[in-house]
Chains A and B, each alone.
Chain A
Amino acid sequence: MVRPAAALGLALVLGLAARTAAADGVGYRGSGAVTPMPDEKLEMEHECGACHAPFPPEFLPMHAWWEIMHELDNHMGEVATLPEDTRAKIQAYLLANASDGPNTERRHTR
């Protein structure tokens, strides 16, 4: 009879499950190779995308991302500082997938 309530409950459960799965993003796997981390990508897009269209990490080399992520207190003329854990996480993602980053290198070498 009360189908909407059941549907609502199911949606809640599914939503929670999806969130838990997303929070489980794995950083390092096997031989120490860095693998793409979907939740870090989401976090990058969320934080960087709050002000501008986020650039893909392949857009810049590692040293450029490193500099940008260490100068967030003067980022294109604004203070764009992040909590340190968030900053470090996004930096790790950007460096790993930079144009000369370990993930990108691996993709280009056979």
Chain B
Amino acid sequence: MKRTARRLAAPLVALALVASAALAGGGRTAILAGLAAAAKQADPQFAGFSADRGRQFFLAQHIEGKIDTPSCTTCHTKDPTAAGRTRALKAIAPMAVSRTPDRFTDPAKVDKWFYRNCMSVLGRECTALEKGDFITYLAGL
């Protein structure tokens, strides 16, 4: 009896993990699809997001935003697979989806942090193209 339970437990846990990962991926796919539609509307020539552009955007230094946050890397560091740190020294889970599987799966959370951080770093909201490139870069790491 006990052994049966134990034998069944592992596959069930594995199934739950796979299912939640699949659900998370679905949320991200939907967010990217929405951004792609918006990017296409802004520019009919839009031909898909680019991880390479996303990487450049992530590493870029800006002077238009708030003085203490010139770049994404100010808090997230130059290595998105590593944990970041807020200016108040709180740990930030790695941005890379491979390290933090639920990244970019909750639309409200994604909107909130893009708004705040784009305003802080760029002094304006990010475009759909910038957001899509950013997610594409971090989802591919």
Contact = CB atoms under 8 A, between A and B. Distances in A.
Interface of A: 1-5, 8, 49-53, 73-74, 76-83
Interface of B: 1, 4-5, 8-9, 12, 16, 66-69, 86-90, 108, 112, 115-117, 119-120
B68 A78 contact: yes
Given A74-B66, A79-B120, 9 more contacts: A2-B8, A3-B4, A4-B9, A52-B88, A53-B90, A73-B119, A77-B87, A78-B68, A78-B87
Contact of B69 (A2, A8, A78): A78
Given A4-B8, A4-B9, A5-B8, A79 B86 contact: no
Contact of A80 (B12, B90, B116): B116
Nearest to B86: A51
A1 B117 CA distance: 51
11 contacts: A2-B8, A3-B5, A52-B88, A53-B90, A74-B66, A76-B87, A76-B88, A77-B68, A77-B87, A78-B87, A79-B120
A77 B90 contact: no
B108 to A, nearest CB: 8
A40 to B, nearest CB: 18
Contacts of B16: 8
A81 B116 contact: yes
B88 A51 contact: yes
A109 B68 CA distance: 44
B116 A79 contact: yes
Contacts of A53: 88, 90
A5 B120 contact: no
Contacts of B9: 4
